[in-house]
């Protein structure tokens, strides 16, 4: 039995991970979140729960996780939201010195992925065919409408806006901190997410793509279909290797008139990781095998052309 610490326990992806670790492997699981225990349904199946500071207070946040790791004799720390992944990657050595293994890539690769402006510049320089035209919001913008505004550092489609006219653009440039946002050409089409594990130990790359047939306002697919596309899987692998990213991540992209445009690369588990697990892609096992430097033995006969639907449940706490 291994001992795991999961951050941001209240997120969709971590409820899946928590169930997996308890039901499939009977591990000892500790959860943390900025909200109290009775706000987090997944806390019902953890062995221990701790309410912690926000990662925005990074020093205090890292100290609290460090103390929990010592107290609970944690073997693995699994951060799952962008800000926490980056903060923990900066402190990897601190945790490794007390025997805790971290399930995230190096901080340099995470910064390229998390920072939307840096990621777009990387794609423009290295993979221009999949690049979406991007500027800082404060710069002069040329191009046809609609356009799309999003934070340079953001997630869950928070504070993202579709712009349909010059009048709307002028308004948003006035009310937003323009240096903290990017503006892009708006690409319409079919939206996809690819969950992947890039195993640098065994030199293996695993990837499963799903088309998002229905998306919610946070940009998460609530009705999806798994698909096989070798050329796109290779494209994602090439991009990830060029960045120097290892481990679990996901890539969002849109296909318009048979052309692929990369929306973003997220250095973490996707919100729809449950779809991949139900399709036979054992993402968590692949990540743990890599960290433990074990030979990969996961099933690679994924289920394709399957439709999955997400629903929400009610819990009494």
CATH label of the domain that carries residue 157:
3.30.1490.20
Provide the pLDDT for residue 218. 72
DSSP label at 6? E
Strand order in the sheet with 190-199: 259-266, 247-256, 190-199, 204-215, 221-227, 307-309
- Burial category of 255 from C-beta neighbours within 10 Å (exposed 0-12, middle 13-18, buried 19 and up): middle
Q: How many domains does the chain have?
A: 3
176 and 207 assigned to the same domain: no
Provide the pLDDT for residue 217. 76
CA angle (40 as vertex; 34, 42 as ends), nearest 5: 120
269 and 194 assigned to the same domain: yes
Distance CA 276, CA 101 (A): 24
- Phi, psi of 21, rounded to the nearest 5 degrees: -65, -30
- pTM of this structure: 0.93
Report the DSSP pairing between strands 101-102 and 48-51. Answer: unpaired
297 and 227 assigned to the same domain: yes
Domain extent, residue 200, equals 188-309
Provide the pLDDT for residue 156. 63
Q: Residue 291 domain-assigned?
A: yes
15 and 97 assigned to the same domain: yes
224 and 283 assigned to the same domain: yes
Distance CA 121, CA 171 (A): 26
85 and 176 assigned to the same domain: no
205 and 176 assigned to the same domain: no
Q: Which of 204, 248, 237 is nearest to 105 (CA)?
A: 248
Q: What is the mean pLDDT of each run of 10 residues along the chain (317 residues)?
A: 93 86 87 95 93 95 98 95 92 96 93 94 97 87 85 79 90 87 93 96 96 85 95 98 96 96 94 93 94 92 95 77
Provide the pLDDT for residue 215. 86
CA 157 distance to own-chain centroid: 12
Provide the pLDDT for residue 50. 97
- Phi, psi of 214, rounded to the nearest 5 degrees: -135, 130
Output the CA torsion 91→92→98→101 (10° steps): 150
208 and 264 assigned to the same domain: yes
142-164 core/surface letters (b: 16 or more CB in 10 A; e: else): eeeeebbbbbbbbbbeeeebebe
In CATH, what number is assigned to the domain containing residue 221? Answer: 3.30.470.20
Given a contact cutoff of 8 angstroms between Cβ atoms, the answer to whether 119 and 112 are in contact is yes
- The helix/strand/coil state of 251 is strand
Given a contact cutoff of 8 angstroms between Cβ atoms, the answer to whether 153 and 117 are in contact is no
Output the CA torsion 270→271→274→277 (10° steps): 0
Distance CA 288, CA 291 (A): 5
139 and 165 assigned to the same domain: yes
- Phi, psi of 266, rounded to the nearest 5 degrees: -105, 125
Given a contact cutoff of 8 angstroms between Cβ atoms, the answer to whether 209 and 190 are in contact is no
Provide the pLDDT for residue 155. 72
CA 276 distance to own-chain centroid: 13
């Amino acid at each position: 039995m291994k001992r795991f610490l999961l951050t941001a326990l209240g997120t969709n992806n971590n409820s899946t991970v928590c169930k997996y670790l308890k039901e499939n492997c009977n591990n000892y699981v500790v959860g943390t979140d900025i909200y109290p225990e009775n706000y987090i349904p997944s806390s019902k199946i953890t062995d221990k729960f701790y309410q912690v500071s926000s990662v925005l207070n990074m020093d205090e946040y890292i100290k609290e996780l460090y103390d929990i790791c010592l107290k609970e004799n944690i073997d693995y720390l699994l951060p799952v939201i962008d800000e926490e992944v980056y903060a923990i990657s900066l402190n990897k050595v601190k945790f490794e010195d007390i025997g805790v293994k971290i399930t995230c890539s190096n901080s340099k690769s995470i910064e390229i992925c998390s920072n939307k402006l840096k990621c777009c510049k990387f794609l423009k320089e290295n993979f221009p065919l999949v690049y979406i035209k991007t500027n800082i919001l404060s710069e002069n913008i040329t191009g046809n409408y609609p356009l799309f505004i999003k934070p340079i550092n953001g997630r869950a489609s928070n504070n993202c806006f579709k712009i349909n006219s010059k009048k709307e653009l002028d308004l948003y440039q006035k009310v937003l901190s323009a240096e903290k946002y990017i503006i892009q050409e708006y690409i319409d089409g079919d939206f996809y997410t690819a969950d992947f594990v890039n195993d640098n130990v065994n030199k293996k790359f695993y990837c499963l793509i799903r088309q998002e047939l229905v998306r919610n306002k946070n940009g998460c697919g609530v009705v999806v279909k798994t698909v096989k596309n070798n050329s796109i899987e290779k494209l994602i692998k090439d991009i990830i290797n060029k960045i120097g990213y290892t481990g679990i991540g996901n890539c969002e992209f849109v296909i318009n008139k048979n052309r692929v445009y990369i929306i973003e690369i997220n250095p973490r588990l996707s919100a729809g990781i449950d779809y991949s697990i139900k399709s036979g892609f054992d993402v968590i096992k692949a990540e743990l095998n890599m960290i433990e430097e074990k030979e990969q033995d996961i099933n690679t006969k994924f289920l394709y052309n399957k439709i999955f639907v997400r629903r929400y449940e009610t819990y009494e706490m």
